[in-house]
Amino acid sequence: MNAHNIDIVIDIGANDGDFGREIRDEGYRGRIVSFEPNPNAYSRLSKAIENDALWEAYQLGVGDIEGGLTLSIANADVFSSFKSVNAFGANSSHSAEATSVQVRVVRLDDFLAEHPDLVSRTYLKIDTQGFEMEVLRGTGTMIQRMSAVQAELGLVKMYNDEEDWLNVVSWMRLHGFEIGTAICNSAITSAAQVREFDFVFVQRSPDGLPNL
């Protein structure tokens, strides 16, 4: 963020604000715009940011089709998703569905067209439990306006119809981005296997390398 002079962070799948608090603790003082469709998580998020004038939140899902979708709310609501868990995901009681709710979903390109002030030196963070590709498709041409994109991608799929992580990487490369960094944030310890990474993509420079 410092290297790219980021002044706006769009946080999709914010839950109750863990990512925002993390970057605040690390010294980021710019604007944060969070999206969280789960009513309970959104309520906690709203309370947590009420004294932060540069952090705003919307109770919205983000995808590639505007309208209404059913959100499956997991026992541990960080695992809530617009997709159902597969056999691997069902092994954990944390990811099992506790309830569900109808929520409004918007395309990010439509939202940004109505809020052009959010398109500056923008860092897009996506953590949507298997719904990352839908969020990216919904950026339309606005993806070219992002300075960097962070996406949590599962190397071991947890949700039905979840896009393969390599397809997401290929999509990002097709749209002019290269991997700037990748951080393991979850592993299957019994199998000594990485489960998911946070990939950070940055725009490709004219020489074909990440623009770092």
Tokens of 36: 């969280």
Q: Mind listing the pLDDT tens digit for each residue in 125-144?
A: 999 999 999 999 999 999 99
**Band (194; pLDDT cuts 50, 70, 90):** confident
Find the DSSP H helices in the chain: 18-25, 39-48, 108-114, 132-137, 165-174
Measured distance CA(67)–CA(12) in Å, rounded: 17
Which stretch of DSSP H or E encloses residue 105? Answer: strand 97-107
Edge-to-edge strand ranges of the sheet holding 67-74: 61-63, 97-107, 67-74
* In the chain, domain spans: 8-203
Q: Mind listing the pLDDT tens digit for each residue in 51-100?
A: 999 999 999 999 999 999 999 999 998 999 999 989 887 877 677 888 99
Q: Mind listing the pLDDT tens digit for each residue in 14-53?
A: 999 999 999 999 999 999 999 999 999 999 999 999 999 9
Provide CATH code, domain 8-203: 3.40.50.150
**Band (173; pLDDT cuts 50, 70, 90):** very high
